[in-house]
């Protein structure tokens, strides 16, 4: 298993991604080869400074950097030697099994769609996040990839999210709920009402109806589906809980579950490759967990499940 890591992405490159890679490689249960993609000289120097051996990793030169403020699709095309472009290209050519980056999110998504393509009949790939509730987890999608959606898109998000929870998170029959402002079928926008009618007729989805904002912390469903505008607002709010609660409850271990660094990144589902996207502010712990998430995606053979489901 070969996991590609963008060393030049994020606000704290190259230290944070490399420190996360070193932490992962030193675990006794690590069974993946880490492919470090970026400026080879910088990678080598930083690893030596960390008392890590460069020979423990595969280093791939990618001297160009896509900054956070660059136009996503233009940057991917104009900078073919950037760490993001090289990583996605290696994933397309099967040189790596997954690609992890905390770089320009738009470039990661645009590059993945342009260079990898969508799986089968998938119309819009979705990016989602894990929501930890006690000893359980839920999955929220979309959280920013698709701000303008059609009802069919929400149905596919539900399908992709259900398969992720079943194959990766080992939830046997994931309950799917549609994000709405009320529980009644006729509540909400035209988009949500039409999606409701499609979801309740969709075979293979355990649709349980609408979910409101307060339902997320009650673990009322295993998969919550909505457009990327509402989903991103919920994502950012839920992540703010950690910074708000930690000073008041410094000794409460449950608070750590709300720390985005422990989540393991955001899987980008529906493209023809295992892609994990991280926050730009990610530190070493976040990168360590993003690598774990990528390994879990590979082990689950989720792409094969998607290919069978969307082959029509």
- Assign 271 to helix, strand or coil: strand
- Does residue 114 carry a pLDDT above 70? yes
What Å distances lie between residue 41 and 3, 64, 81, CA to CA?
A: 20, 13, 15
Domain ranges of the chain: 1-122+270-302, 123-263
Q: What is the four-CA torsion angle of 312, 125, 64, 89, rounded to 10 degrees?
A: -20
H-type helices in 101-173, by residue range? 105-116, 151-167
Q: How far does CA 237 lie from the centroid of its chain?
A: 17
Neighbours of 224 (CB within 10 A): 29
- Assign 269 to helix, strand or coil: strand
CATH of 1-122+270-302, one of 3.30.230.10, 3.30.530.20, 3.40.50.150, 3.40.718.10: 3.40.718.10
In degrees rounded to 5, what are phi and psi of residue 15?
A: -60, -50
Q: Is the peptide bond before 171 cis (omega within 30 degrees of 0)?
A: no
Residue 312 has what pLDDT? Answer: 63
| Helices and strands (H, E) in the chain, number of each type | 10, 11
| Cα–Cα distance, 213 to 234 (Å, whole number) | 8
Neighbours of 302 (CB within 10 A): 20
DSSP code at position 268: E
Residue 256 has what pLDDT? Answer: 86
- Does residue 253 carry a pLDDT above 70? yes
Strands 98-101 and 274-277: parallel
- Does residue 233 carry a pLDDT above 80? yes
Contacts of residue 248, defined as CB under 8 A and 6 or more positions apart, other chains included, come to none
Identify the CA nearest to 153 among candidates 118, 112, 116: 118
Neighbours of 253 (CB within 10 A): 7
Q: Tell me the per-residue pLDDT of 265-302, one tens digit each, with 9 for 90 and over.
A: 999 999 999 999 999 999 999 999 999 999 999 999 99
CATH topology identical between 1-122+270-302 and 123-263: yes
With beta carbons less than 8 A apart as the criterion, state whether 270 and 160 touch.
yes
Q: Tell me the per-residue pLDDT of 154-200, one tens digit each, with 9 for 90 and over.
A: 999 999 999 999 999 999 999 999 999 999 999 999 999 999 999 99
Residue 126 has what pLDDT? Answer: 98
With beta carbons less than 8 A apart as the criterion, state whether 267 and 294 touch.
no
H helix or E strand, kind and range, residue 72: helix 72-78
Share the mean pLDDT of the chain: 95
Query: If you write DSSP's letter for every residue of 26-48 in order, what string do you get?
Result: TSTT---EEEEEE-HHHHHHHHH
- Assign 276 to helix, strand or coil: strand
- Output the pTM of the full model: 0.95
- Assign 166 to helix, strand or coil: helix
| Cα–Cα distance, 51 to 109 (Å, whole number) | 34
- Across the range 18-29, mean pLDDT stands at 90
Per CATH, the number for 123-263 is: 3.40.718.10
Residue 195 has what pLDDT? Answer: 98
166 vs 30: which has the higher pLDDT: 166
């Amino acid at each position: 298993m070969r996991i590609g890591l963008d060393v030049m992405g994020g606000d704290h490159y190259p230290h944070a991604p490399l420190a996360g890679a070193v932490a992962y490689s030193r675990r006794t249960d690590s069974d993946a080869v880490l492919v470090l993609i970026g400026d080879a000289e910088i990678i080598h120097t930083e690893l030596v400074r960390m008392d890590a051996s460069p020979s423990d990793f595969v280093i791939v030169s990618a001297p160009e950097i896509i900054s956070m403020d660059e136009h996503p699709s233009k940057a991917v095309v104009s900078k073919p030697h950037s760490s993001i472009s090289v990583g996605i290209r290696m994933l397309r050519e099967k040189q790596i099994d997954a690609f992890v980056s905390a770089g320009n999110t738009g470039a990661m998504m645009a590059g993945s769609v342009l260079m990898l393509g969508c799986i089968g009949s998938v119309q819009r790939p979705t990016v989602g996040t894990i929501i930890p509730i006690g000893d359980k987890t839920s999955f929220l999608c979309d959280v920013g990839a698709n701000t303008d959606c059609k009802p069919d898109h929400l149905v596919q998000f539900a399908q992709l999210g259900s398969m992720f929870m079943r194959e990766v998170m080992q939830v046997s029959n994931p309950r799917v709920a549609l994000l709405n402002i009320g529980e009644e079928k006729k509540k909400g926008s035209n988009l949500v009402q039409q999606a409701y009618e499609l979801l309740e007729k969709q075979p293979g989805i355990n649709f349980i109806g609408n979910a409101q904002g307060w339902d997320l912390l009650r673990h009322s469903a295993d998969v919550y589906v909505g457009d990327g505008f509402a989903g991103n607002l919920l994502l950012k709010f839920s992540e703010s809980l950690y910074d708000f609660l930690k000073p008041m409850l410094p000794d409460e271990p449950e608070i750590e579950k709300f720390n985005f660094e422990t989540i393991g990144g955001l899987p980008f589902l529906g493209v023809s490759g295992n892609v994990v996207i991280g926050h730009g502010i990610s530190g070493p712990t976040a990168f360590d967990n993003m690598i774990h998430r990528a390994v879990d995606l590979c082990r689950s053979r989720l792409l094969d499940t998607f290919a069978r489901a969307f082959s029509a």
